[in-house]
A and B are shown apart, each in its own frame.
Chain A
Amino acid sequence: MTNRPITEDDLHGYVDRVLEPERQAEVESYLEAHPDVARRVAGFSSQRDLLRAALAPIADEPLPPELNLSRIIENRQRRRTPAWWAIAAMLLVSVGGLGGWIVRGEMQALGAPGGLAALTQEAAYSYNVYAPDRVRPVEIRASDATELVHWASSRLHRPVKVPDLAASGYRLMGGRVVATAHGPAAMFMYDDDHGERLVVLTRPMTSADQNAPMTAGSQGDVGGLSWANGGVGYSLVGRADPESLRPVANEIRRQAQAI
């Protein structure tokens, strides 16, 4: 028998039957000596039994078809299969990475070659390809952030910082180096508690828009904000109204400038 005093927590542990056997016995003898407390604890126990009995039938009900997990998994796979645009985007990006000549024509139509509009589009491509990926959305996970920074910095030939968006409610999932028509870019992916994902793409600006104010843009239903500072471009995109991302974008810009 130890001499540790019995606490309120012990009493709940006793009611929930989670104490070590020895402690359980100590609480028992305490209760024998303290009928008032014993009465209270007995009340807690009977209310626990009552709640469990009252709610037990719900867990025995047959599941409706909407809650059939195999079906949910299947539906999701079916929805994802005709993602021809994602495949097209991937081709476009990789062809761009090899030569850039097919893509260039398109980019010129969008604005200065390699400018903000192109950056936004590249970020949207990355979002479309990687954000719906449930197997491997990122190459390097947040737990290996140092390795990610090292990889991105060496491929972009400049120090890359991973924005910390915790204050905005987004956790870093990880990232990878991706191909764009204008060379390698670093992609970082974030998600919030509801699983909403955001992508930040950053790369050196090749010619146009070495410095450019924050501009909203979208590509299909993916949109966001892009800007450039001192020759480095940033684009933040998600499946949301671009304007709603402005506070997050401001935070990224603030962190990037604070070197």
Chain B
Amino acid sequence: MNDMLHQVEPLIPHMRRYARALVRNHATADDLVQDCLERAVSHWHQRREGDPRPWLFAILHNLAINQFRQTKSRGPHAAIDEISESSLRQDAVQEKQLMYQDVLRKLARLPEEQRSVLLLVAVEDLSYADAARVLNIPVGTVMSRLSRARERLQQEIEGTANEGKVVPLRSVK
């Protein structure tokens, strides 16, 4: 268990961040991480050798998706802008805070499947292959979702959502 402690503990802040950015609710996100850690403890022997990150994020992601399904069937809950006062206050500059809040609100408008790819790759620094393992999809699908996510977020940022004209280069799988 010591080996597990060493490998998993440093990843908890990242798991928290991913969960919160994905479900956009502080308490729900922490519950998911807790659930994920409990499962990781009881299934530690089942992971593959090597970096435990894809394995942990896969458990976390699946828990989050189940959570989405449940809340969906119970009706949507109010979105919460979680990157709130406490964490950003010391960052001082009011304007920056507004920019951050704004980009997160725009991120939230992406479909879940695009949001998760973007978060795993661009924020959590998972390789494309590891993101594919987490989401249980081919790498080619990771790339096309990543491309759509960036395109769409850019349109949101530039205020041209739904009217942008973009000619993407061809994608080689």
Residue in B5, B87, B99, B100 whose beta carbon sits within 8 Å of that of A61 in the complex: B87
Residue in B99, B143, B158 whose beta carbon sits within 8 Å of that of A12 in the complex: B143
* Nearest chain A CB to B57 CB, angstrom units: 13
Residue in B62, B100, B104, B170 whose beta carbon sits within 8 Å of that of A8 in the complex: B170
Q: Are B143 and A52 in contact (CB under 8 A)?
A: no
Q: Are B62 and A193 in contact (CB under 8 A)?
A: yes
Q: Are A73 and B1 in contact (CB under 8 A)?
A: yes
CB-CB contacts of B131-173 with A at 8 A, as 1s and 0s? Answer: 0000000000001001100100110011000000010111111
Complex CA gap A91/B122 in Å reads: 54
Q: Are B14 and A59 in contact (CB under 8 A)?
A: yes
Q: Are B16 and A6 in contact (CB under 8 A)?
A: no
* Nearest chain A CB to B144 CB, angstrom units: 9
In the complex, whether B34 has a CB less than 8 A from a CB of chain A is: yes
Q: Are B154 and A44 in contact (CB under 8 A)?
A: yes
In the complex, whether A26 has a CB less than 8 A from a CB of chain B is: no
In the complex, whether B75 has a CB less than 8 A from a CB of chain A is: no
Q: Are A191 and B46 in contact (CB under 8 A)?
A: yes
* Nearest chain B CB to A252 CB, angstrom units: 22
Q: How large, as a class, is the contact surface on chain A?
A: 35 or more
Chain B residues, CB < 8 A from A64: 30
Complex CA gap A173/B43 in Å reads: 11
Instruction: Select from chain B the residue with minimum beta-carbon distance to A49.
Output: B122
Chain B residues, CB < 8 A from A102: none
In the complex, whether A21 has a CB less than 8 A from a CB of chain B is: no
Q: Are A67 and B37 in contact (CB under 8 A)?
A: yes
In the complex, whether A146 has a CB less than 8 A from a CB of chain B is: no
Chain B residues, CB < 8 A from A55: 17, 21, 83, 104, 119, 123
CB-CB contacts of A68-97 with B at 8 A, as 1s and 0s? Answer: 011011001000000000000000000000
Complex CA gap A232/B1 in Å reads: 40
Chain B residues, CB < 8 A from A173: 46
In the complex, whether A99 has a CB less than 8 A from a CB of chain B is: no
Give the number of residues in B that approach A within 8 Å (Cβ atoms): 61
In the complex, whether A66 has a CB less than 8 A from a CB of chain B is: yes
Instruction: Select from chain A the residue with minimum beta-carbon distance to B126.
Output: A16
In the complex, whether A109 has a CB less than 8 A from a CB of chain B is: no
Residue in A9, A16, A44, A195 whose beta carbon sits within 8 Å of that of B172 in the complex: A9
In the complex, whether A98 has a CB less than 8 A from a CB of chain B is: no
* Nearest chain B CB to A233 CB, angstrom units: 28
Chain B residues, CB < 8 A from A69: 4-5, 8-9, 12, 37, 41
Chain B residues, CB < 8 A from A191: 43, 46
In the complex, whether A47 has a CB less than 8 A from a CB of chain B is: yes
Complex CA gap A56/B9 in Å reads: 18
In the complex, whether A33 has a CB less than 8 A from a CB of chain B is: no
In the complex, whether B80 has a CB less than 8 A from a CB of chain A is: no
Chain B residues, CB < 8 A from A59: 13-14, 16-17
In the complex, whether A57 has a CB less than 8 A from a CB of chain B is: yes
Complex CA gap A79/B169 in Å reads: 56
Q: Are B103 and A43 in contact (CB under 8 A)?
A: no
Q: Are B43 and A195 in contact (CB under 8 A)?
A: yes
Given contacts A51-B103, A66-B30, A76-B38, 4 further A-B contacts (CB under 8 A): A8-B169, A12-B143, A47-B103, A195-B59
- B residues whose Cβ falls under 8 Å from a Cβ of A: 1, 4-5, 8-9, 12-14, 16-17, 20-21, 30, 33-34, 37-39, 41-46, 59, 62-63, 66, 83, 87-88, 91, 96, 99-101, 103-104, 107, 118-119, 121-123, 127-128, 143, 146-147, 150, 153-154, 157-158, 166, 168-173
- A residues whose Cβ falls under 8 Å from a Cβ of B: 6-9, 11-12, 15-16, 18, 37, 40, 43-44, 47-48, 50-55, 57-61, 63-64, 66-67, 69-70, 72-73, 76, 132, 134-137, 173, 191, 193-195
11 interchain pairs, CB-CB under 8 A = A7-B171, A12-B150, A55-B123, A63-B13, A67-B33, A72-B34, A72-B37, A72-B41, A134-B44, A134-B45, A173-B46
